[in-house]
């Protein structure tokens, strides 16, 4: 095993190669038939192929849940963490390795319940990563318990007579946090827009938050049924700085709004509406600084420079054997 | 100046406790001697008090009949109740035998400065220099050094106060104590345990620290925050300890080696993430500066109550390395060792210290920088086709480390049971294989550890076993009882998991084993306490389980360092 010297920014130029969509996939996903996660995976792999993201320079991080199995199905680096904590793991990665493309897959329980503190602070850190909130409005993996995004009245195993609380709105919550820089909503049943939104999110430098409404046929088979059948119940957001709609889609989904992603007030209004479901870029502000950029990356630190500093630092605590040396220190 | 010294900060829990309050007393205990000092010692020979109330909580820490230098301004305080309180306490203390000397500190300082509250400490320093016949010139030099960035007027004012205090002693006090100094021949560092941790982290070459503020660990991060960027390091103050631990794990996974610093409650919160690092085999250094527990407990007080929680803390079998710093010097070196082990074994190393060494200051020999402290650069070469992420070596349990960016090494780490390719695998064989190899790593490490030296008798009537910050006090006690003829030795453990080889053999050379530590145990003669229900101190449980030895234990939870005289008393009692 030979050791190569460390290049300060850890960059390695990957060899020119053309990756197909299949190259980005690993194994056979274990999700249920018809699960919206399949569509999200397909859209992500398609985006990776389009951008030819280097496999070794890309990391998918997740928590725990059906959706958090995501990294296992990508032939990139992956980190399948613990429930609710994908954000701090991804932050640690990005801080040490800003050269990596970092994606986070998280569920509505993972992000909006157990991981809420991390989610709110991740928005504020605004580190450059793309976040997919797989929002199926239910706990899938643990078999149908209410999630914070479950609609009021939803019958689940923990709310057999109907959920007693109004749902939390992840878009409104995100738009309310300091340093928010990119918020979008997609639905698993319009894969082309899902793909385009993922692309725009990835191009944004900062914390790009995409809530994907994801169907869970196993536990909520009818949850988005009406919306998938009736295009009128989807509102497409378009703008020259946001999504440009492919003609076929524009034809099917006639309910459209010209929305400037720079307009946070309108974004908040749109976020609060759920019928029709808004799809597109709600908010984009490229000017918010990223936490990882607050670190000086230009310096070169070696064992020698560190030890020179250590000697200098120890001088501050040192009593020298003679007092003339003390004066010198 | 050539003395061994150990200082202990007395810190009230409140930021601004009411003036003259008994519980709000703050201060500093200073122990010094001709030789190096390893602990805070026993009762004080001399006390200086800026009001009489602060003495009340601490009378037990003063030698009976010792001298107390007391600010006298309260005697004539305009508030009659304060003046009365002062006189009453003064009379009571005098009656109980203390030699009270009233010193007009405020009045003397007022002759030199307008705000005596800001200069009294220098006056007191002068008083002490007079009593201990210190070289005033050295004190003047130190003042100039400390205030080097301040205007000359400030330096002069402080020196004037120092000299005034000195003159007051010379004119009014007969007490003189001469403690000969031993001039050191090598440079010494004066620092506390938390600063030593900060310096040790820099020396280890680690570049990332994630933390959430918690007493008494925070000052290590304060110090690190101050200096870390100058070596390209970074301190992340996370939103909570879970996040701090996960951030550190992410940073380590990505190719750094990260440390997270905390104390009891925060350590509890990190458990699940620590298990993840063990399971996924990601290097991680965790520092737990213990405090009194459980729950919020005693934030500023000393306790060693987290040992078992550290060894066994996570759910499932999560073998991790547990080290304990036995001294302030150890705090420095343990950071270097912890990083080495974490990266060599791709696992979690927890270093335990506690409040008694975190903020105590002493002198330690200045470390000689060694390039070997730094880990070599990581291998970032492409990974050979077919190479397995967990290519566990059947003898050592060790597997390769692959970091993002390495072509061909793509895999998904997971906290789920996994096979050698890091694919989720629940079948019994795979699960057992993972558990076996993670456990084997500790065996491999254990074989490289050295048997600790026994202090005092190599065999005899009683072996005292301790760990962590109690080393100095225990060894001082053993020295004292040996001088009385007792056949006692002391064994101090720095590695608690795995335990170094040879411990059982040492234990068998002694008739009895007594574990001494700063945590809870049911007293052996406590009401209702029997062999069947006695709860032992942390380390005693471990020794009893591992070596099948009927180890006895003595422990206390006074929130203070264990005193050598206490250990002496216990040894005498148990031997008689
Ligand atoms: C600390 C902890 N608590 C609880 C669980 C059990 N658990 C696993 S996934 C999950 C919820 C999953 O729901 P969600 O995040 O919405 O993901 P989905 O399965 O719906 O994709 C829970 C409660 C766990 N793994 N860890
Ligand atoms: S339970 Fe629901 S979320 Fe989970 S895989 Fe099945 S359909 Fe998807
Ligand atoms: Mg869900």
Asked if B321 and B313 touch (Cβ cutoff 8 Å), the reply is no
pLDDT at B423: 96
Whether B404 maps to a domain, the answer reads no
Q: Is the CB of A136 under 6 A from ligand 2?
A: yes
Whether residue B497 sits in one domain with residue B458: yes
Q: Is the CB of A218 under 6 A from ligand 2?
A: yes
Q: Which residues of B touch A310 (CB under 8 A)?
A: 199, 202-203, 231, 369
Q: Which residue of A has its CA nearest to B183?
A: A321
Mean pLDDT of all residues in B528-542? 97
Angle between helices B471-483 and B564-575 (to 10 degrees): 50
Whether residue B8 sits in one domain with residue B157: yes
Q: Is the CB of A116 under 6 A from ligand 1?
A: no
Asked if B324 and B468 touch (Cβ cutoff 8 Å), the reply is yes
> How far does the CA of residue A316 sit from the closest CA of chain B (Å)?
8
Q: Is the CB of A41 under 6 A from ligand 2?
A: no
pLDDT at A5: 37
Which CATH number is B262's domain given?
Answer: 3.40.50.970
Last residue of a domain, one of B325, B350, B373: B373
Confidence of residue B33 (pLDDT cuts 50, 70, 90): very high
Q: Is the dihedral of CA A159, A162, A168, A171 positive or negative?
A: positive
pLDDT at A9: 37
Whether B121 maps to a domain, the answer reads yes
Burial of B334 (0-12, 13-18, 19+ CB in 10 A): buried
Whether B100 maps to a domain, the answer reads yes
Last residue of a domain, one of B346, B373, B400: B373
> How far does the CA of residue A281 sit from the closest CA of chain B (Å)?
28
pLDDT at A16: 55
Q: Which residue of A has its CA nearest to B375?
A: A303
pLDDT at A323: 56
Instruction: Say which CATH topology domain A20-291 has.
Output: Rossmann fold (3.40.50)
Whether residue B228 sits in one domain with residue B126: no
Percent of chain B with pLDDT over 70: 100
pLDDT at B80: 95
pLDDT at B23: 78
Mean pLDDT of all residues in B248-277? 98
Q: Is the CB of A46 under 6 A from ligand 1?
A: no
Whether B77 maps to a domain, the answer reads yes
> How far does the CA of residue B139 sit from the closest CA of chain A (Å)?
11
- Greater confidence (B194 vs B18) lies with B194
- If you average pLDDT over every residue of chain B, what do you get? 95
Which CATH number is B16's domain given?
Answer: 3.40.920.10
Range of the domain at B504: 454-575
Whether residue B195 sits in one domain with residue B162: no
pLDDT at B304: 98
User: Which one, of A225, A247, A233, lies nearest residue A279 by Cα?
Assistant: A233
Q: Is the dihedral of CA B424, B429, B431, B434 positive or negative?
A: negative
User: A70 in contact with B at a CB cutoff of 8 Å?
Assistant: no
Burial of B95 (0-12, 13-18, 19+ CB in 10 A): exposed
Residue among A14, A306, A314 minimizing CB distance to B231: A306
Whether B92 maps to a domain, the answer reads yes
- CA B306–ligand 3 middle distance (angstroms): 36
pLDDT at B131: 96
Residue among A5, A74, A97 minimizing CB distance to B404: A97
Q: Going residue by residue through chain A (329 aa), what tens digit of pLDDT does each one get?
A: 333 333 333 333 344 559 999 999 999 999 999 999 999 999 999 999 999 999 999 999 999 999 999 999 999 999 999 999 999 999 999 999 999 999 999 999 999 999 999 999 999 999 999 999 999 999 999 999 999 999 999 999 999 999 999 999 999 999 999 999 999 999 999 999 999 999 999 999 999 999 999 999 999 999 999 999 999 999 999 999 999 999 999 999 999 999 999 999 999 999 999 999 999 999 999 999 999 999 998 888 889 999 999 999 999 999 988 755 444 44
pLDDT, tens only, B37-63 = 999 999 999 999 999 998 988 888 999
How is B164-185 classified by DSSP, letter by letter?
Answer: HHHHHHHHH------------S
Whether B429 maps to a domain, the answer reads no
**ipTM for this model:** 0.94
For residue B206, pLDDT beyond 90: yes
Residue A128 makes CB contacts below 8 A (sequence gap 6+) with A94, A98, A102, A205, A206, A207, A290, A292
Write the Ramachandran bin of B351: left for phi over 0, alpha for psi from -120 to 50, otherwise beta. beta
Peptide bond into B155 cis (omega under 30): no
Q: Which residues of B touch A87 (CB under 8 A)?
A: 243
Mean pLDDT of all residues in B5-18? 84
pLDDT at B16: 82
Residue having the nearest C-alpha atom to atom 5 of ligand 2: A31
Domain count, chain B: 3
Whether B430 maps to a domain, the answer reads no
Q: Is the CB of A115 under 6 A from ligand 1?
A: no
pLDDT at B145: 87
Residue among B191, B367, B412 minimizing CB distance to A72: B412
Whether residue B264 sits in one domain with residue B154: no
Test mutation, A92, A105, A111, A311, chain B, max B CBs within 10 A = A92
Q: Which residues of A touch B371 (CB under 8 A)?
A: 303-304, 307
Cα separation, B516 vs A61, in Å, equals 46
Last residue of a domain, one of B111, B139, B172: B172
pLDDT, tens only, B103-153 = 999 999 999 998 888 889 999 999 999 999 998 998 999 899 889 999 999
Q: Which residues of B touch A81 (CB under 8 A)?
A: 246, 276, 415
Cα separation, B435 vs B128, in Å, equals 60
> Closest ligand 2 atom to the C-alpha of A217?
7
Mean pLDDT of all residues in B394-423? 97
Cα separation, A128 vs A126, in Å, equals 6
> How far does the CA of residue A72 sit from the closest CA of chain B (Å)?
6
For residue B286, pLDDT beyond 60: yes
Q: Which residues of B touch A141 (CB under 8 A)?
A: none
Q: Which residues of B touch A90 (CB under 8 A)?
A: 250
Whether residue B159 sits in one domain with residue B48: yes
Specify the pTM: 0.95
For residue B164, pLDDT beyond 70: yes
- CA A187–ligand 3 middle distance (angstroms): 14
pLDDT at B259: 98
Cα separation, B225 vs B222, in Å, equals 5
Q: Is the CB of A110 under 6 A from ligand 1?
A: yes
pLDDT, tens only, B419-447 = 999 999 999 999 999 999 999 999 999 99
| Domain ranges (residues) in chain A | 20-291
Contact B413 A317 (CB under 8 A): no
Whether residue B225 sits in one domain with residue B154: no
Residue among A1, A75, A301 minimizing CB distance to B410: A75
Whether B427 maps to a domain, the answer reads no
Whether residue B168 sits in one domain with residue B74: yes
Asked if A227 and A311 touch (Cβ cutoff 8 Å), the reply is no
Contact A4 B252 (CB under 8 A): no
Contact A5 B186 (CB under 8 A): no
Cα separation, A69 vs A145, in Å, equals 19
Cα separation, A54 vs B211, in Å, equals 32
Residue B177, both tokens: 């104590």
For residue B517, pLDDT beyond 90: yes
């Amino acid at each position: 095993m030979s050791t190569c010297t460390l290049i300060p920014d850890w960059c390695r130029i990957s060899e020119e190669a053309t990756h197909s969509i299949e190259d980005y996939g690993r194994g056979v996903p274990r999700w249920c038939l018809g699960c919206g996660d399949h569509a999200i995976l397909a859209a992500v792999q398609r985006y990776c192929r389009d951008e030819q993201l280097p496999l070794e320079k890309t990391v998918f991080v997740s928590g725990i849940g059906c959706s958090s199995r995501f990294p296992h199905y990508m032939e990139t680096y992956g980190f399948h963490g613990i429930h609710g904590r994908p954000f701090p793991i991804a932050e640690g990665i990005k801080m040490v390795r800003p050269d990596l493309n970092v994606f986070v897959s998280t569920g509505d329980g993972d992000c909006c319940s157990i991981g809420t503190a991390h989610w709110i602070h991740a928005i504020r850190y605004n580190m450059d990563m793309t976040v997919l909130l797989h929002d199926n409005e239910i706990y899938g993996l643990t078999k149908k318990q209410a999630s914070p995004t479950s609609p009021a009245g939803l019958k689940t195993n923990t709310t057999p007579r109907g959920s007693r609380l109004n749902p939390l709105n992840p878009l409104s919550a995100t738009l309310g946090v300091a340093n928010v820089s990119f918020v979008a909503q997609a639905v698993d049943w319009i894969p082309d827009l899902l793909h385009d939104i993922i692309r725009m999110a990835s191009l944004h430098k900062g914390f790009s938050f995409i809530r994907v409404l994801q169907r869970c046929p196993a536990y909520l088979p009818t949850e988005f049924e009406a919306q998938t059948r009736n295009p009128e119940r989807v509102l497409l957001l378009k703008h020259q700085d946001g999504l440009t709609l492919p003609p076929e889609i524009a034809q099917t989904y006639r309910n459209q709004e010209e929305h400037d992603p720079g307009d946070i007030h309108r974004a908040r209004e749109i976020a609060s509406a759920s019928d029709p479901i808004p799809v597109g870029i709600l908010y984009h502000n490229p000017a918010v600084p990223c936490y990882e950029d607050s670190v000086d990356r230009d310096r070169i630190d070696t064992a020698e420079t560190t030890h020179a500093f250590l000697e200098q630092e120890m001088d501050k605590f040192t009593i020298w054997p003679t007092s003339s040396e003390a004066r010198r220190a | 100046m050539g003395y061994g010294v150990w200082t202990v900060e007395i810190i009230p829990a409140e930021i601004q406790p009411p003036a003259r309050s008994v519980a709000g007393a703050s201060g500093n205990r200073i122990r010094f001697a001709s030789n190096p000092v390893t602990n805070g010692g026993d009762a004080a020979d001399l006390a200086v008090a800026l009001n009489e109330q602060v003495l009340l909580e601490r009378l037990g820490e003063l030698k009976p009949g010792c001298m107390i230098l007391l600010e006298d301004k309260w005697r004539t305080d305009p508030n009659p109740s304060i003046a009365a309180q002062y006189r009453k306490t003064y009379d009571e203390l005098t009656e109980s035998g203390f030699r009270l000397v009233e010193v007009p500190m405020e009045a003397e300082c007022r002759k030199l400065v307008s705000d005596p509250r800001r200069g009294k400490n220098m006056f007191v320093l002068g008083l002490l220099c007079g009593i201990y016949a210190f070289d005033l010139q050295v004190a003047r030099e130190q003042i100039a050094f400390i205030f080097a960035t301040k205007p000359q007027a400030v330096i002069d004012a402080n020196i004037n106060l120092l000299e005034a205090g000195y003159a007051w002693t010379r004119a009014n006090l007969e007490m003189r104590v001469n403690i000969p100094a031993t001039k050191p021949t090598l440079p010494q560092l004066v620092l506390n345990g938390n600063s030593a941790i900060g310096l040790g982290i820099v020396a280890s070459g680690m570049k990332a620290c994630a933390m959430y503020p918690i007493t008494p660990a925070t000052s290590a991060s304060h110090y690190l925050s101050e200096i870390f960027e100058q070596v390209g390091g970074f301190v992340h103050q996370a939103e909570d300890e879970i996040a701090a631990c996960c951030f550190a794990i992410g940073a380590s996974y990505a190719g750094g080696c990260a440390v997270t610093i905390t104390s009891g409650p925060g350590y509890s919160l990190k458990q699940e993430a620590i298990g993840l690092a063990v399971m996924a085999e990601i290097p991680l250094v965790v520092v737990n500066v213990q405090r009194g527990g459980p729950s919020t407990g005693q934030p500023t007080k000393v306790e060693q109550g987290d040992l078992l929680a550290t060894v066994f803390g996570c759910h499932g079998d999560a073998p991790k390395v547990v080290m304990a710093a036995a001294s302030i010097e150890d705090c420095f070196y343990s950071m270097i060792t912890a990083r080495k082990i974490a990266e060599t074994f791709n696992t979690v190393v927890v270093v335990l210290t506690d409040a008694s060494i975190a903020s105590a200051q002493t002198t330690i020999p200045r470390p000689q920088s060694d390039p070997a402290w730094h880990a070599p650069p990581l291998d970032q070469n492409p990974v050979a086709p077919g190479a397995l992420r967990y290519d566990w070596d059947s003898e050592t349990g060790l597997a390769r480390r692959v970091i993002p960016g390495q072509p061909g090494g793509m895999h998904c780490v997971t906290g789920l049971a996994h096979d050698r390719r890091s694919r989720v695998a629940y079948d019994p064989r795979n699960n057992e294989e993972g558990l076996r190899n993670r456990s084997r790593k500790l065996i491999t490490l254990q074989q490289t550890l050295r048997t600790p030296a026994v202090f005092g008798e190599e065999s005899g009537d009683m072996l005292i076993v301790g760990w962590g910050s109690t080393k100095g006090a225990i060894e001082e006690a053993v020295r004292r009882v040996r001088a009385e003829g007792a056949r006692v030795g002391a064994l101090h453990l720095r590695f608690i998991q795995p335990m170094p080889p040879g411990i059982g053999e040492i234990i068998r050379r002694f008739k009895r084993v007594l574990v001494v530590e700063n945590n809870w145990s049911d007293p052996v003669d406590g009401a209702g306490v029997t062999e069947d229900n006695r709860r032992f101190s942390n380390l005693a449980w471990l020794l009893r389980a591992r070596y099948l030895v009927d180890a006895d234990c003595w422990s206390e939870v006074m929130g203070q360092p264990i005193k050598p005289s206490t250990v002496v008393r216990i040894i005498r009692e148990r031997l008689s």
